[in-house]
Amino acid sequence: MVCRTGTDLTQMTGVTDVVLPASQGPDGSWGGALAATAFNTAAGSEICPSILTTSVDGTSVLRPHTKVKVLYEIDSALVAVEFGNSVSTAISYILDIVNIVAANYELQTGIAIENELFLDTRSGNALGHTYPDTKNAADALTNFRLRWAKDPELKAKMDGYGVVSLLSGQNPNSGSGGRQTIGIARLDTACLKGQGYETLPSSISWLALARDKECAVSLIMHEMGHAFSAIHHDYTQSAVMHSLVGNYCSQSFLPVVRSQISGWANDHTDGVGCACAASTGPEVPVPEPEPAPAPQPVPEPMPEPVPEPVPEPVPEPVPEPVPEPVPLPVPEPVNPLADCSGLRRRACRFTLGCIRTRVGCQPNTENGAVCARIPRKKWCRKAGCLWGPAVASNPPVALETAQRARRQRRGLAICQDFAMNSERTPTEGN
């Protein structure tokens, strides 16, 4: 598959980029069947331990620090046209460009590129090899690939690299209209050594058509991205893999492209041109270690806390037993119904509730005596009754004697209840 990268930088506008399948490519008759899918099933790949890591912008990549040796051939046209036949100037300038490319790849994809610039001076031309000026991008790529495949020395040299690319000073555009091409690449050509295939030239970048260094960096990143299986993404101009790379010159890979490139590297490593990296990657600049902080004084070990002596528990004072309240002796109640009858004179005298009368020992009113039944004045008064004329309010006595009745009719004094006489009748006074 061949990818042409277009640009309207020069004369034309509205250029498009063409991606051709391998069978229709300019080198279809060379190199045999280079179907991209065949690469993934080839045996012999060195399986590197995957180290999932995160790039500077948070994108995860599979193979951080995978080492890829990249060989850039510089043709005589580039040194002559762009650098005034000064090889040293060309080398210095181009090294600056490819080093920026390498830095971008490592930061964004985890691939650590080792650059090498090559000028083929075997013919005696110090400026490098001069390719036929085909004015056709596809033809130029065919010439590039055939030369490196057929020349034994170049072929041997190529096998030590994961990517081989040409930086050219020619202009492949015919000038008769149509597209303007600034770069061309075959997809899936990186790190083929050890996959059952020989290393193949990957791409041409016509640096003479890049308007400045930034665009040159973007162009080389783009064409090498195709070698690592990345395809075009034209939905944003802020992407390396936009087909109009010569116009927008972005140096940022989209996250999906980073995944593609790191995934290809993860699947195609032979230990020569594309080597498994050490766990940390020797090319990764190791930041200077921070100066060791001044030793902090070792704090004195804290003494074990001495437990405060626990005071002996003071026994709770045993409360004095509260004596059960002793019930006060209940005085024997005065027997109001002391049987006074039959008591002798002395016993009657000292018996509470009894009075001595002429008819023997008798109870007083507190001991059940009934005033209405007491016939004698002295006995009545001793018993606690009232001796006097009958009071109207005095209730009738059921057991009136005949003598009492007579005395009452006559208005004479009789024995009667004391208390009743003391009350006033309801009709008295107002």
Could you list the residues that contact Zn ion (CB under 5 A)?
3, 5
Cβ-based neighbours of 413, under 8 Å, separated by 6 or more: 377, 387, 388, 389, 407
d(CA 87, CA 357): 172
Shortest reach from residue 205's CB to Zn ion, in Å: 11
**CA torsion, ordered 44, 45, 46, 51, to nearest 10 deg:** -160
Shortest reach from residue 122's CB to Zn ion, in Å: 31
| Helix, coil or strand: residue 72 | strand
d(CA 399, CA 349): 28
- 188 and 203 in contact (C-beta within 8 Å)? no
Q: Given the complex with Zn ion, which of 194 and 246 has the nearer CB atom?
A: 246
Q: Given the complex with Zn ion, which of 145 and 193 has the nearer CB atom?
A: 145
d(CA 347, CA 344): 5
**CA torsion, ordered 421, 424, 425, 429, to nearest 10 deg:** 150
Of 169, 70, 159, whose CA–CA distance to 118 is shortest?
Answer: 70
Shortest reach from residue 232's CB to Zn ion, in Å: 6
Q: Given the complex with Zn ion, which of 27 and 417 has the nearer CB atom?
A: 27
Q: Given the complex with Zn ion, which of 17 and 120 has the nearer CB atom?
A: 17
Of 110, 37, 114, 38, whose CA–CA distance to 69 is shortest?
Answer: 114
424's tokens? 């006033």
Angle, CA of 281, 287 and 293, to the nearest 5°: 135
Query: For the chain, how far is it from start to end, CA to CA, in angstroms?
Result: 143
Q: Is 284 exposed, middle or buried (0-12, 13-18, 19+ CB in 10 A)?
A: middle
Cβ neighbours around 104 below 10 Å, total: 19
d(CA 261, CA 283): 19
Q: Is 114 exposed, middle or buried (0-12, 13-18, 19+ CB in 10 A)?
A: middle
Shortest reach from residue 209's CB to Zn ion, in Å: 14
Shortest reach from residue 72's CB to Zn ion, in Å: 18
Name the closest residue to Zn ion (Cβ).
Answer: 5
Shortest reach from residue 241's CB to Zn ion, in Å: 7
Q: Given the complex with Zn ion, which of 36 and 413 has the nearer CB atom?
A: 36
Shortest reach from residue 91's CB to Zn ion, in Å: 26
Q: Given the complex with Zn ion, which of 264 and 387 has the nearer CB atom?
A: 264
- State how far Cα 39 lies from the chain centre: 42
Q: Given the complex with Zn ion, which of 226 and 268 has the nearer CB atom?
A: 226
Q: Given the complex with Zn ion, which of 5 and 247 has the nearer CB atom?
A: 5
Pairing of strands 360-363, 386-389: unpaired
Shortest reach from residue 109's CB to Zn ion, in Å: 17
Q: Given the complex with Zn ion, which of 48 and 224 has the nearer CB atom?
A: 224
Shortest reach from residue 186's CB to Zn ion, in Å: 11
Shortest reach from residue 3's CB to Zn ion, in Å: 4
Of 203, 216, 149, whose CA–CA distance to 2 is shortest?
Answer: 203
Shortest reach from residue 165's CB to Zn ion, in Å: 13
Q: Given the complex with Zn ion, which of 45 and 250 has the nearer CB atom?
A: 250
Q: Given the complex with Zn ion, which of 5 and 266 has the nearer CB atom?
A: 5
